[in-house]
Structure 1
């Protein structure tokens, strides 16, 4: 099944592509990391550990300390599919992350990407 292949893919294999996509648009690795930390609840050391251990997507999201409650506010298209309509919970989390990196690469303001209250600095 196609979904199982994606779930078994190492996060470390896709992570550099997220960074590359952002950097091509003058965003930074630190901003990519911030978006990932916001979504998953990992701290920087935890994120780096997951990358170092070549953790697959299923484990990466399964071990996420605290999936952000505002993730459900992430809406829009990724690869022609509305992220809010994705039925499989793990695939939806992967698509949420894809969408956040897309928004970062498109130059969207960080407070908007992190679905934060404008009065709350940082949002994470």
Structure 2
């Protein structure tokens, strides 16, 4: 099976889009970073290093220090696909991130986004 093109895209190339989407809706880069740290277990410094290194999505998620076990509580539709129905692990992680950024941009409280 061929891998999806997004797997080889750098997280850094999409990161500004996440930030812009959030800022257009009155949210902050700090909140985007908090979501990324919550999901992956990277520290802020480690996250910045991965962005600087232009790490691709596949490697970013594969090398994440501690994927948050609460991410399985993320439900809903992203790009017309139910997140909970995605079987391919890397694509599921990417869509979890997309869903969290969507929730941020829609004004959801951080406690709810981070499943507290």
TM range (shorter): over 0.9
CA distance in 2, matches of 1:25, 1:108: 11
Alpha-carbon deviation of 1:93?
0.2
> Runs of 4+ in structure 1 displaced over 6 angstroms?
none
Alpha-carbon deviation of 1:52?
0.1
Residue in 2 aligned with 1:111?
111
Q: Aligned residues, how many?
A: 116
Alpha-carbon deviation of 1:104?
0.2
| Structure 1 alignment gaps of length 5 or more | 117-124
TM-score by length of 1: 0.91
TM-score by length of 2: 0.97
Deviation by residue 1:75-109 (Cα, 9 ceiling, x = unmatched): 00001100000010000000000000000000000
CA distance in 2, matches of 1:3, 1:17: 23
Residue in 1 aligned with 2:20?
20
CA distance in 2, matches of 1:3, 1:33: 27
User: How well do the aligned residues superpose, as a CA RMSD in angstroms?
Assistant: 1.0
Residue in 2 aligned with 1:68?
68
Asked if the contact 1:3/1:91 (under 8 Å) is kept, the reply is: no
Deviation by residue 1:2-58 (Cα, 9 ceiling, x = unmatched): 743110011100000000000000000000000010000000000000000000000
| Structure 2 alignment gaps of length 5 or more | none
Asked if the contact 1:19/1:32 (under 8 Å) is kept, the reply is: yes
